[in-house]
Amino acid sequence: MLGKRDTSIYGTKTLDQIGQDLQKLGGELGLEVECRQSNHEGALIDMIQDATKSGVKGFVINPGAYGHTSIALRDALSDAALPFVEVHLSNIHKRESFRHKTYLSDIASGVIVGFGPDSYQLGLRALVNVIASLNR
């Protein structure tokens, strides 16, 4: 629904466009970037668990509302034991109080909020830095 849903908050860029931008940035940084999305909590957990078996080095994740509700998603990311950056297009701290806390932020390498689609690119750059610091 990105690009259509509440564009005053989330903007007009689609998830496919954001994914293309991330893959381009990944290429510039010498990375392979795979973009995935699901509206189903269990499918997201399966993706995280599968990724840990396939050599993935980390995640940039926009958990959407699941960030505020899903202990299962938190557990999957914690069990993956890989760095991840949590991103949100909107500034969740300027919104309803139930959006101010997420179940992921305290286990994330970092959290980026409020920069629209640029949140993803900032998140990818930050993740690259985190992974590099772990490999020193």
Of the chain, the end-to-end C-alpha distance in Å amounts to 40
Apex CA 42: angle with CA 26 and CA 70, to 5°? 90
Active site residues: 10, 88
Q: Which residue has the tokens 């959407």?
A: 64
Decide if 63 contacts 104 (C-beta within 8 A): yes
Alpha helices, DSSP H, located in 54-92: 66-69, 71-80
